[in-house]
Amino acid sequence: MSRIHNLDYLRGIFALLIAIYHFLSWQGCIFNADSFVYRLCLFGVNSFYCLSGLTLFLVYSKVDLSKRTNIGKFYVTRFFRIFPLFWLALLLTIVITRRADWQTLFLNITGLYAVVDWNNYIVTGSWSIGNELVYYLFFPILFLGFNFSKVFGIAMCVISFALLIYFAFRVVGRTPNILQEWLNYVNPLNHIFFFVAGLMIGLFFKKSEFSQRYLILALIFVISIYKLYPAVGSPVNLLYGLNRIVFSLNTVALVLIFYKIEIKLPDVLHRPLEAFGKSSYSIYILHPIVYFLILRTFEKLELNNLVLCWSFKLFGFIIATIFLSYFSWRYFETGFINLGKKLCREK
């Protein structure tokens, strides 16, 4: 399957926005529930699950996953896509923080934290990587069911949406303890709807065509929801209740629109956006490490008292994150991805 550049654009834009948001929040900027940037970044992570489900459905649409050898190949390719860079980020994070008990280290090295203790992650933001690992475990079963019967797909979508509603109204938002709220929020079951919705988009809309005029209007409407929807107060308010449902459906709609809309950009925009998309995993998982290095650099060179120091830090952070992430994708990730493919061909 040839790459769908629109999905690369969306994935890359969200990854870079999340990195910038984290920089700003770590520098003391406060974001409330009405912040456009915060809304995009919070649900940008959810969009990754939806994009993942959609992409996997399209990639494996012509693969017979009822065969054990093909299922094995799926897990091998996923392993080499996720774990090499994850282990590198894990090692660097431990070197930086100098903390990790043996049990936590074991759970993170094996990825088992995603199943047995999803809040016990070491690498900043890797709770979402853990969720992806959980969804990968069940992908072959879901994929076979979706291909066997659209009724099965609809049923799974209804069940996963019911879980989203359950968490939004009965689990998250029940206590003023922000740490407890986060533990409930990062639960893989709270986000599985997005992965299933991605599969549903692939199942029902793969061959569908839409008026480009209507898709542009729909895109404007979806972006308007992120900007104008009346949710205020603490950022936690977006994690539960009706706010959570509205923005979740809006995020799924955004992925569908980017999947079907025709975007033809000049090379000056296409090439960097495509690069952001390809290196989005590196951007997401390496940017906290880049942030630490930027802080240490300014501290060692005694630059913290410079006029516009904050702006220089942000600029350096963005440039370093982009270049390091692209280098990682081009010379590190790609090598392991190709190794996984080679091993699958030899089976």
Per-residue pLDDT tens digits for 320-335 = 999 999 999 999 999 9
* pLDDT score at 178: 65
pLDDT top residue among 240 and 98: 240
The sign of the CA dihedral 29, 30, 36, 38 is positive
User: Has residue 319 got a pLDDT over 70?
Assistant: yes
| Residue 67 DSSP one-character state | S
Percent of the chain with pLDDT over 90: 80
Which amino acid appears at position 289 of this protein? Answer: I
pLDDT band for position 309 (50/70/90)?
A: confident
| Domain range enclosing 109 | 5-346
Question: Average per-residue pLDDT in the chain?
Answer: 93
For range 222-231, the mean pLDDT: 96
User: Has residue 211 got a pLDDT over 90?
Assistant: yes
Which amino acid appears at position 145 of this protein? Answer: G
Tokens encoding 43: 């649900």
| Count of the separate structural domains present in the chain | 1
pLDDT top residue among 99 and 313: 313
Distance between CA atoms of residues 317 and 225, nearest Å? 30
pLDDT tens-digit series, residues 141-183:
999 999 888 999 999 999 999 999 999 999 998 766 666 788 8
Tokens 């893989």 found at? 188
* pLDDT score at 1: 61
Q: Please check whether residue 97 is in contact with residue 119, taking contact to mean a CB–CB distance below 8 angstroms.
A: no
Q: Please check whether residue 261 is in contact with residue 216, taking contact to mean a CB–CB distance below 8 angstroms.
A: yes
* pLDDT score at 301: 83
Q: Please check whether residue 196 is in contact with residue 57, taking contact to mean a CB–CB distance below 8 angstroms.
A: no
* pLDDT score at 179: 67
Tokens encoding 68: 């054990």
Query: CB neighbours (10 Å) of residue 268?
Result: 7
User: Has residue 43 got a pLDDT over 90?
Assistant: yes
